[in-house]
Amino acid sequence: MLHINNITKKIARRTIVNNVSITLLPGELTCIVGPNGAGKSTLLSIIMDLSSKSSGSIEKSDNVRLGGLVGFPIFYDHLSAEENLEIVCRIKNAKKSEITRVLELVNLLSERSVKYDQYSTGMKQRLGIAGALIGSPNLLILDEPTSGLDILNIENLCMLIYEMKCAGTSFLIVTHSLDDIESICDNIVVLVEGSIRLISTKSEFLEKFAASSLQKSYNIMLRSII
């Protein structure tokens, strides 16, 4: 579904992403983890065509419908959630009827008429995810999707991701909180200083570091690197 081939990003003499290759198959959820400044968000921006690459290639299957949220969601403060999503629909050439569907998925339907500047941080995050869902993508790129969410909304988001995964949607997610999505994660990519240090299935990752959870396994690995 998605093949990231030897992607490198350089700014001046600094290498931000260094020769990264990842393959994502239909219905898989791959987590990218790593310390701050590892190049994770930059890699997602390149995949989403929000940032240029210095070298390498990205191959998508012909049937891929890509959606994503990289960084903190940006909408017009003076417009309501519904009005902002109408703009997203026009950009994506999607029907306005999608707005009700995606707002319901992220539990914002009752706040559809509230202006964006009156939204809390968690509500803004959920609206960003709703925007990513416009167009019924089968490949979702998400950067820290649980950031700012309370426990209930984290659980709701994970259930939504699980249901979409079961229906064949693929996910590439950057996260610092593996505990939140451990149950739905398939593969782990560890990125450090722009380079891949490890690619592993979830079960192999847990076995390699002999820990009871992905987060503990990752913490063990991170201490050995830094």
* Confidence tier at 65 by pLDDT (50, 70, 90): very high
Question: Which residues span the domain enclosing 100?
Answer: 2-225
**Does pLDDT of 225 surpass 80?**
no
pLDDT of residue 222: 85
Give the pLDDT score at 165.
95
Of 197, 194, 85, 108, the C-alpha closest to 156 is: 108
Q: What six digits make up the tokens of 8? A: 């490198």
We report the CATH number of the domain holding residue 21 as 3.40.50.300
Does the structure show a pLDDT above 70 at 69?
A: yes
Query: How many structural domains are present in the chain?
Result: 1
- What digits encode the pLDDT tens for the residues 186-215? 999 999 999 999 999 999 999 998 888 999
Query: What mean pLDDT is reported for the chain?
Result: 94
Residue 122: alpha-carbon gap to chain centroid: 16
Element (H, E) at 20: strand 14-24
pTM of the model: 0.92
How far is it, in rounded angstroms, from Cα 192 to Cα 222? Answer: 9
Quick: pLDDT tens for 77-93: 999 999 999 999 999 99
Reported as a pLDDT band with limits 50, 70 and 90, residue 226 is low
User: What per-residue confidence (pLDDT) applies to 223?
Assistant: 85
